[in-house]
Amino acid sequence: MLSDNKVIEIFYMADDFCNFFNETVKKHSIEDGKKHRNKPSRLSDAEMITILIMFR
C-alpha cells in the first residue's frame, strides 16, 4: 500500500497535467457559444485520474 504522501504527490502530478491539458485545449478549440454547467458534486478530472492510477 502506498503512503499518504505518495498519494498526494500523484494527485498533484495529475492536477498539474489536467490544468495544462485544459488550457491547451481551450487555446486550440472553437467555442460553440453554449454555456456548460459544472455540478459541484462531481469529482474533478485529477481526482478521477488519481483513483484510476491507485486501482490499476
pTM of the entire structure?
0.76
Q: Are 54 and 10 in contact (CB under 8 A)?
A: yes
Per-residue pLDDT tens for 1-39? 778 899 999 999 999 999 999 999 989 988 777 777 766
Residues 21, 44: Cα–Cα separation, whole Å: 13
Nearest to 44 by CA among 26, 17, 25, 24: 17
Q: Are 3 and 39 in contact (CB under 8 A)?
A: no
Phi, psi dihedral angles at 27 (to 5 degrees): -65, -35
